[in-house]
Chains A and B, each alone.
Chain A
Amino acid sequence: METLNLLLSGVGGQGVILASKILSKAALLQGLDIKQSEVHGMSQRGGSVVSHVRLGARVFSPLVAEGGCDVLLGFEPLEALRFAHWVKPDGVIVYNADRVNPSTVSAGMATYPDDVEARLAAQPCRTFRVEAGALAEKAGTRRAGNVVLVGAASRFLDLPADVWQRALDASVPAKVLDVNREAFRLGAEAV
């Protein structure tokens, strides 16, 4: 299969890493080659976080090329827009509508632009808006917003349902599995 290039962009603490793990695990279970890359350290402290996930028959670079992204999962509108230009014209942006103010905005040094969602909608690729927080809350906990987004992304990856189930089972603690399964399902239905 052609290599599929995903970017997951968000804010430190939003669960970008766990979402990447589920996607990678699903690819592994499907017998695909997989590379995933992120940066830890200073960026964890409320800063922008981006994770690259590439899957296919044989994958070399762990980084997606600028302009070569097939699916962008934006965990926050501003962070989605920050990477929107990486997406191919025939690619997809799925983004969570819940805003998180950057510290620069909290401190009154900058303003959160009010046209972020309009600019996302105006991208040449297809764009899907997901209310991940609300859907996760419906599933049982607001913290499962990342799994809602993985569910939404699953619609654009040609992997069987049981692979997603097994990937989810292997990635989240057993006691919150049901909540996460529901979050995944609601995410998949949302796009």
Chain B
Amino acid sequence: MKEILSGNEAIARGAWEAGVLWASAYPGTPSTEILEAVGALYQDDIHAQWSPNEKTALEAAVGASLGGVRALACMKHVGVNVAADPLFTASYTGVNGGLVLVTADDPNLHSSQNEQDNRNYAKFAKVPMVEPADSQEAKDFLKAAFEISERFDTPVLLRSTTRISHSKSLVELGERQELPRPTELERDIAKNVMLPAYARPKHPKIEQRLADLKAYGKDCPLNRVEMGDRSIGIITSGIAYQYAKDALPGASFLKLGLVYPLPDDLVREFASQVDQVVVIEELDPFLEEQVRLLGIDVAHGKDWFPIIGELSPDLVAERLTGQAVERRPAADGLPIRPPVMCPGCSHRGVFTILRKLKVYVSGDIGCYTLGALPPFQAMHACLCMGGSITMAEGLSRAVADDSDRKNQVVAVIGDSTFFHSGVTGLMDLIWNQGSSVVMIQDNRITAMTGGQVTPGIGKNLMGQDAPVIDIETLVKALGVAEENVRVVNAYDLDQVETVLKEELAKPEPSVVLTKEPCVLQYRVKAPALTVDADACTACGVCLRTSCIALGMVGEGDDEHVEIDPNFCTGCTVCAQVCKFDAIRS
């Protein structure tokens, strides 16, 4: 039976069919739906959990693997940076039950802060990597990855990209492989305790493992030679293969599924049978450099296919066929439609006040990062998950005179990001006696990735009741003075302003906490507000709250703001900024 599955759903299915017993992840686009699917569909057979961050997700999966069961950890590309520490040494310990780490890369930065190519992690950590090109392969390659993991005693990386994870195609479903559950924990100190004395002899084993994997790659069914017209031989993998097949279906292909380590013999053999070799890959010249190192003449690679952004079917076709695609000019002068805080979003009022106070805002990763965009422009730095608090610490100490509010720093972080890695930053701030105000905007969900539960709300991924990790109690326990932990209502702009001013005046760290839930995930809606057209002066101040429920209508003396009742949630932020009392319940 065939079903239409996204790459992420297919990976989840593959985990089930492979007999996986453990799956953990931290949400991150484009990887999120993998664990959502495992939790929703396969929780009877697989323990599925959101972890507070990618490092803990991978460590827990490593533990399950050492315990003897097949284990999966999933994350977006930058999540692997967080999990890199356990990854690099898990390469040394190897596995017991198979261990696969899925990295979902985001070429073109559809929803990410950088465009790193995580194939480089395979080389860096000296572990094999498989790369599927559609949903069927996503499922099949995950199953193969577990076999490679156990056969070669290594964690395996499966790399997806946005166009694999979020594309749907037909998948032939299979049955679950039931694997025996270990009855006791095996102890092997020399294998699993990475003291220098035990780690040192592992390194030569890892080099040998890579050599063995290179040899295996020659006959590995994940690598496929499709001989056709021998005038051009295309070496490719992942989504680039699909674009090339559409463009030049009759060409000769070496389609790599095991993209690291490169199967040298297979590449040499293929190259010797074609007139010219073309390497097609997104982002870095990862395959191309390895092919060139073999002494093979690559006719075209990154000279044709850009190192930046995604490839597209038309770009690949133009290069391969030498025929320019007829492009008509895009319609000009169209207003852009950037992402925006939802109507009723609890971040809107806070950013309205932060803009008004003119403080320096050290931001973090979540929906509230949209506070950096016009018309707010009230976030001045955002680097990585959890970085807001520690960056605020450095920023405040850098400036010679912080008596001017423009030199005062407020860190802004959401609940899920605070749990992820903001907690350690707050410890740093407290221990080292920084003075910043930390605004934790707890909207009771991981919102940007589509609404995943956090450690703070009393539920886990499988929908079971779970202990609540209470942020207010936590920050007090860490050492923020009782009187410096202030809970404010995100929709009460006067209160937010007053409390922020009071806390900014203090020399020690403060936490200002909001607890209003995400309107989208919790479907918060009060009756829509209305505008008194006579009272409205069309000054436009309310429009600067950037709410799509608001819009200017009429002309001349009739010009006034109107509120679309379909969008308005009655949050009253616009009414509170109106100087003419024109917006009413």
Contacts and interface: CB of A to CB of B under 8 A. Distances in A.
A160 interface: no
B196 interface: no
Contacts, number: 178
B312 A103 contact: no
A48 B337 contact: yes
A62 interface: yes
B398 to A, nearest CB: 30
Contacts of A37: 163, 166-168
B337 A62 contact: no
Nearest to A78: B334
A35 B339 contact: no
Interface string A17-52: 000010011001000011111111111111110000
Interface residues of A, number: 54
B167 A62 contact: yes
A78 B335 contact: yes
Contacts of B170: 28, 33-34
B337 A103 contact: yes
> Which among A11, A21, A28, A106 has the highest number of chain B CB atoms within 10 Å?
A106
Contacts of B367: 45
A66 B337 contact: no
B338 A61 contact: no
A159 to B, nearest CB: 15
B551 A41 contact: no
A66 B311 CA distance: 12
Contacts of A63: 163, 243, 312-313
A88 to B, nearest CB: 9
Contacts of A40: 29-30, 111, 166, 450
Interface stretch (A110-118, A149-157, A172-180): A110-118
B331 A82 contact: yes
Interface stretch (B84-92, B145-153, B541-549): B541-549
Nearest to A33: B170
Contacts of A68: 313-314, 325
Range class of the B interface residue count: 35 or more
Contact of A39 (B110, B449, B544): B110
A79 B336 CA distance: 10
Contacts of B4: 21, 24-25, 28, 34, 36
Given A101-B551, A107-B374, A108-B543, A41 B340 contact: no
Interface in B145-175: 162-163, 166-170
Given A40-B166, A46-B340, A113 B334 contact: yes
Contacts of A102: 335-338, 548
Instruction: Tell which of B30, B111, B313, B342 has the most Cβ of chain A within 10 Å.
Output: B313
B468 to A, nearest CB: 27
Given A40-B111, A47-B338, A35 B168 contact: yes
Given A45-B341, A109-B375, A110-B335, A39 B313 contact: no
B542 to A, nearest CB: 10
Contacts of A39: 30, 110-111, 162, 166
Contacts of A62: 134, 163, 167-169, 239, 242
A104 B540 contact: no
Nearest to A28: B4
B317 interface: yes
Contact of B327 (A38, A59, A85): A85
A107 B543 contact: yes
Interface in B100-117: 110-111
B337 A104 contact: yes
A103 to B, nearest CB: 4
A60 B342 contact: no
A82 B334 contact: yes
A48 to B, nearest CB: 4
Contacts of A7: none
Contact of B335 (A45, A46, A65, A111): A111
B527 interface: no
Nearest to A38: B166
A108 B538 CA distance: 11
Contacts of B249: 60
A106 B548 contact: yes
Contact of B548 (A46, A65, A66, A79): A46
A15 B98 CA distance: 39
Residue of B245, B327, B339, B342 ringed by the most chain A CB atoms within 10 A:
B339
Contacts of B242: 60-62
A63 B110 CA distance: 15
A39 B339 CA distance: 13
Interface in B233-279: 239, 241-243, 245-246, 249
Contacts of B334: 78, 81-82, 113, 116
A3 to B, nearest CB: 8
Given A37-B168, A62-B169, A107 B375 contact: yes
Given A35-B169, A106-B548, A45 B314 contact: no
A109 B374 contact: yes
A115 to B, nearest CB: 9
Query: Which 5 residue pairs of A and B lie closest in terms of their CB atoms, listed nearest first?
Result: A41-B111, A41-B29, A110-B335, A62-B167, A103-B340
Interface of A: 11-12, 21, 24-25, 28, 33-48, 59-68, 78-79, 81-82, 84-85, 100-113, 116, 119
14 contacts: A33-B169, A37-B167, A41-B110, A42-B29, A44-B450, A45-B367, A61-B246, A66-B312, A67-B327, A85-B327, A102-B337, A105-B335, A105-B551, A107-B544
Interface of B: 2, 4, 29-30, 110-111, 134, 162-163, 166-170, 239, 241-243, 245-246, 249, 312-314, 317, 325-331, 333-342, 367, 370, 374-375, 448-450, 540, 543-544, 546-552
Given A103-B340, A106-B551, 13 more contacts: A36-B167, A36-B168, A37-B166, A41-B110, A41-B450, A45-B340, A45-B341, A46-B342, A62-B242, A67-B328, A68-B313, A107-B543, A108-B552
